[in-house]
Amino acid sequence: MAVEARRIVFLGAPGSGKGTQAELLAAALGVPAVSTGDMLRQAVAAGTPLGSRVESILKAGELVDDATMGDVVRARLGQADAAAGFLLDGYPRTIAQADTLDSILEEAGVALDLVLQVRVPEKELVRRALDRRREDDTEEVIGNRLAVYEESTRPLIGLYRGRGLLRPVDGNQPVESVAATILATVEAGV
Protein backbone atom coordinates (compact mmCIF):
# COMPACT_ATOMS: atom_id res chain seq x y z
CA MET A 1 0.00 0.00 0.00
CA ALA A 2 1.43 3.38 -0.96
CA VAL A 3 1.63 5.86 1.87
CA GLU A 4 0.72 9.48 1.17
CA ALA A 5 3.22 12.10 2.28
CA ARG A 6 2.39 13.16 5.78
CA ARG A 7 2.77 15.99 8.23
CA ILE A 8 3.76 14.23 11.43
CA VAL A 9 5.04 15.33 14.84
CA PHE A 10 7.20 13.01 16.94
CA LEU A 11 6.93 13.38 20.71
CA GLY A 12 9.21 11.51 23.07
CA ALA A 13 11.52 12.04 26.00
CA PRO A 14 15.27 12.50 25.50
CA GLY A 15 16.66 9.05 24.70
CA SER A 16 13.36 7.64 23.44
CA GLY A 17 14.74 7.18 19.93
CA LYS A 18 12.34 9.62 18.26
CA GLY A 19 15.12 11.19 16.18
CA THR A 20 16.23 7.82 14.85
CA GLN A 21 12.64 6.83 14.12
CA ALA A 22 11.90 10.15 12.42
CA GLU A 23 14.88 9.64 10.09
CA LEU A 24 13.78 6.07 9.25
CA LEU A 25 10.17 7.07 8.59
CA ALA A 26 11.25 10.11 6.57
CA ALA A 27 13.26 7.83 4.28
CA ALA A 28 10.26 5.52 3.88
CA LEU A 29 7.86 8.39 3.11
CA GLY A 30 10.23 10.53 1.07
CA VAL A 31 9.75 13.63 3.23
CA PRO A 32 12.29 15.49 5.37
CA ALA A 33 12.85 14.71 9.03
CA VAL A 34 13.23 18.10 10.67
CA SER A 35 14.63 18.40 14.18
CA THR A 36 14.70 21.65 16.08
CA GLY A 37 18.47 21.27 16.36
CA ASP A 38 18.76 20.98 12.58
CA MET A 39 16.51 24.00 12.12
CA LEU A 40 18.66 26.12 14.42
CA ARG A 41 21.89 25.01 12.74
CA GLN A 42 20.48 25.68 9.26
CA ALA A 43 19.39 29.19 10.19
CA VAL A 44 22.82 29.95 11.67
CA ALA A 45 24.69 28.37 8.73
CA ALA A 46 22.61 30.34 6.23
CA GLY A 47 23.67 33.57 7.90
CA THR A 48 20.14 34.98 7.72
CA PRO A 49 18.96 37.67 10.14
CA LEU A 50 16.97 34.92 11.85
CA GLY A 51 20.11 32.77 12.03
CA SER A 52 22.06 35.64 13.55
CA ARG A 53 19.36 36.10 16.19
CA VAL A 54 19.35 32.39 17.04
CA GLU A 55 23.15 32.27 17.17
CA SER A 56 23.36 35.08 19.71
CA ILE A 57 20.76 33.42 21.95
CA LEU A 58 22.65 30.13 21.82
CA LYS A 59 26.00 31.82 22.49
CA ALA A 60 24.50 33.53 25.54
CA GLY A 61 23.65 30.10 26.89
CA GLU A 62 19.93 30.85 26.92
CA LEU A 63 17.01 28.82 25.70
CA VAL A 64 15.52 29.88 22.40
CA ASP A 65 12.14 31.46 23.15
CA ASP A 66 8.85 30.24 21.67
CA ALA A 67 8.53 33.18 19.25
CA THR A 68 12.01 32.68 17.82
CA MET A 69 11.47 28.92 17.53
CA GLY A 70 8.23 29.67 15.69
CA ASP A 71 10.18 31.82 13.22
CA VAL A 72 12.74 29.05 12.71
CA VAL A 73 10.05 26.41 12.16
CA ARG A 74 8.11 28.69 9.81
CA ALA A 75 11.24 29.29 7.71
CA ARG A 76 12.13 25.57 7.57
CA LEU A 77 8.65 24.35 6.74
CA GLY A 78 8.47 26.99 4.02
CA GLN A 79 11.27 25.29 2.10
CA ALA A 80 10.32 23.36 -1.03
CA ASP A 81 11.27 19.92 0.31
CA ALA A 82 8.69 20.22 3.10
CA ALA A 83 5.79 21.13 0.79
CA ALA A 84 4.63 17.52 0.40
CA GLY A 85 5.09 16.67 4.07
CA PHE A 86 7.55 16.56 6.95
CA LEU A 87 8.35 14.85 10.23
CA LEU A 88 8.96 17.24 13.13
CA ASP A 89 11.23 15.98 15.90
CA GLY A 90 11.43 18.13 19.03
CA TYR A 91 8.82 20.70 18.06
CA PRO A 92 6.40 21.63 19.45
CA ARG A 93 7.44 21.32 23.08
CA THR A 94 4.83 23.59 24.65
CA ILE A 95 1.20 24.53 24.09
CA ALA A 96 2.34 27.95 22.83
CA GLN A 97 4.56 26.23 20.25
CA ALA A 98 1.66 23.94 19.25
CA ASP A 99 -0.48 27.03 18.68
CA THR A 100 2.27 28.53 16.53
CA LEU A 101 2.56 25.31 14.52
CA ASP A 102 -1.21 25.36 13.98
CA SER A 103 -0.90 28.92 12.61
CA ILE A 104 2.01 28.00 10.33
CA LEU A 105 0.10 25.05 8.89
CA GLU A 106 -3.13 27.05 8.54
CA GLU A 107 -1.25 29.75 6.61
CA ALA A 108 0.03 27.02 4.27
CA GLY A 109 -3.47 25.55 3.88
CA VAL A 110 -2.52 22.19 5.38
CA ALA A 111 -3.07 20.36 8.66
CA LEU A 112 -1.17 18.02 10.92
CA ASP A 113 -1.92 14.39 10.07
CA LEU A 114 -0.53 12.50 13.04
CA VAL A 115 1.37 12.80 16.32
CA LEU A 116 3.51 9.78 17.23
CA GLN A 117 4.42 9.51 20.90
CA VAL A 118 7.47 7.25 21.32
CA ARG A 119 7.16 5.88 24.86
CA VAL A 120 10.03 4.34 26.82
CA PRO A 121 10.11 3.65 30.58
CA GLU A 122 12.08 6.23 32.58
CA LYS A 123 14.56 3.63 33.85
CA GLU A 124 15.45 2.73 30.25
CA LEU A 125 15.73 6.42 29.24
CA VAL A 126 18.23 6.96 32.06
CA ARG A 127 20.19 3.84 31.02
CA ARG A 128 20.35 4.98 27.39
CA ALA A 129 21.49 8.47 28.39
CA LEU A 130 24.19 7.13 30.71
CA ASP A 131 25.40 4.77 27.95
CA ARG A 132 26.15 7.83 25.78
CA ARG A 133 28.88 8.71 28.30
CA ARG A 134 28.57 12.45 27.81
CA GLU A 135 30.14 14.67 30.46
CA ASP A 136 26.89 16.30 31.49
CA ASP A 137 24.84 13.08 31.50
CA THR A 138 24.72 12.33 35.21
CA GLU A 139 21.69 10.61 36.71
CA GLU A 140 20.66 13.86 38.39
CA VAL A 141 20.92 15.92 35.18
CA ILE A 142 19.11 13.24 33.19
CA GLY A 143 16.38 13.10 35.82
CA ASN A 144 15.97 16.88 35.62
CA ARG A 145 15.72 16.77 31.81
CA LEU A 146 13.09 14.06 32.00
CA ALA A 147 11.10 16.04 34.58
CA VAL A 148 11.17 19.16 32.40
CA TYR A 149 10.14 17.11 29.37
CA GLU A 150 7.29 15.49 31.30
CA GLU A 151 6.05 18.83 32.64
CA SER A 152 6.13 20.64 29.30
CA THR A 153 4.93 17.77 27.14
CA ARG A 154 2.07 16.32 29.20
CA PRO A 155 -0.29 19.12 28.04
CA LEU A 156 0.65 18.40 24.40
CA ILE A 157 -0.26 14.75 24.84
CA GLY A 158 -3.71 15.75 26.07
CA LEU A 159 -4.11 18.36 23.33
CA TYR A 160 -3.27 15.97 20.50
CA ARG A 161 -5.21 13.08 22.05
CA GLY A 162 -8.24 15.38 22.20
CA ARG A 163 -7.84 16.13 18.49
CA GLY A 164 -7.67 12.42 17.69
CA LEU A 165 -4.11 12.72 16.33
CA LEU A 166 -2.06 11.01 19.07
CA ARG A 167 -0.75 7.49 18.50
CA PRO A 168 1.42 6.04 21.29
CA VAL A 169 4.21 3.72 20.15
CA ASP A 170 6.23 1.35 22.34
CA GLY A 171 9.81 2.59 21.89
CA ASN A 172 11.24 0.02 24.30
CA GLN A 173 12.01 -2.61 21.69
CA PRO A 174 14.61 -3.05 18.92
CA VAL A 175 14.92 -0.12 16.48
CA GLU A 176 13.63 -2.21 13.58
CA SER A 177 10.55 -3.31 15.53
CA VAL A 178 9.72 0.27 16.52
CA ALA A 179 10.17 1.38 12.90
CA ALA A 180 7.85 -1.37 11.64
CA THR A 181 5.21 -0.45 14.22
CA ILE A 182 5.42 3.23 13.27
CA LEU A 183 5.17 2.50 9.54
CA ALA A 184 2.16 0.25 10.15
CA THR A 185 0.54 3.00 12.24
CA VAL A 186 1.05 5.55 9.47
CA GLU A 187 -0.17 3.13 6.79
CA ALA A 188 -3.31 2.42 8.82
CA GLY A 189 -4.27 6.02 8.23
CA VAL A 190 -5.36 8.78 10.51
Question: What residues are annotated to the active site?
Answer: 18, 93, 132, 134, 145
| Three-class secondary structure of residue 93 per DSSP | coil
- As a dihedral over the C-alpha atoms of residue 78, residue 84, residue 88, residue 94, rounded to 10 degrees, the angle is 60
Half-sphere exposure of 78 (CA within 13 A, CB side): 10
What's the rounded Cα separation, in Å, for the pair 33 and 77?
A: 11
DSSP output for 76-121: HHTSGGGTT-EEEES---SHHHHHHHHHHHHHHT----EEEEEE--
Give me the phi and psi of 116, to 5 degrees please: -100, 120
Which residue from 72, 106, 75 is spatially nearest to 90, judged by alpha carbons?
A: 72
Q: If residue 118 lies in a helix (H) or strand (E), which one and from where to where?
A: strand 114-119
| Three-class secondary structure of residue 54 per DSSP | helix
